Amino acid sequence: MNSPRNPPESDRQATAIVVQPSSPRFPMSSSGSTTSGAHRKIGIAVDLSDESAYAVKWAVQNYLRRGDAVILVHVRPTSILYGADWGSIDLSVEDTDEESQQKLEDDFDAFTTTKANDLAQPLVEAQIPFKIHIVKDHDMKERLCLEVERLGLSTVIMGSRGIRRFEA
């Protein structure tokens, strides 16, 4: 019988953690976290595409092992440039009111969180501990590299878009 503390496996859902640190130069504290006692910290870079979903499934089936902690890392695009020391600077050229801009941001945040939770389902089913780490930045490639370093990941797995296997 299932208790409220132990819901059936089919009812378990992933939960996204949206992170916008003040500076990518300072590491995040890992005390008491899902990844704090792990043998390996494996990052899976996800961009919410089908290729990302395949990368998560591939990692579960072929790479991850007991004792690993997984962090799904997603860098969400934004029109605001986040700086380490100067806060945020709006780079948008559009002249829209602040309320409608905030609603668009909130809607996209909700979509991102939902999609990231969907991508994490193979991890939930395999009972692999994980976190979903979502950050926002204007330069997504640079921010992904900074987050990988800051999180101290052992390995990063990512999907490929339209790139086929190397042929001998």
Q: What is the CATH number of the domain that holds 60?
A: 3.40.50.620
Helices and strands counted in the chain (H then E): 4, 7
Q: Which of 120, 108, 107 is nearest to 13 (CA)?
A: 120
| pLDDT value, residue 30 | 47
- Residue 18 to residues 21, 53, 70, 110, 137, Cα–Cα distance (Å): 10, 19, 16, 10, 12
Q: Which residue has the tokens 């829209």?
A: 96
Residue 8 located in a structural domain: no
Residue 57 located in a structural domain: yes
The span from the CA of 4 to the CA of 8, in Å, is: 9
Q: How many CB atoms lie within 10 A of CB 3?
A: 6
Residue 66 located in a structural domain: yes
State pTM to two decimals: 0.68
User: 77 lies in which domain range?
Assistant: 16-158
Residue 92 located in a structural domain: yes
| pLDDT value, residue 59 | 96
Taking 70 as the pLDDT cut, the residues of the chain under it are 1-38, 79-96, 162-168
Angle ∠(126,130,134) on CA atoms, nearest 5: 135
- What percent of the chain clears pLDDT 90, i.e. is strictly above it? 37
Work out how many domains the chain is built from and give that number.
1
| pLDDT value, residue 22 | 47
Residue 112 located in a structural domain: yes
Residue 11 located in a structural domain: no
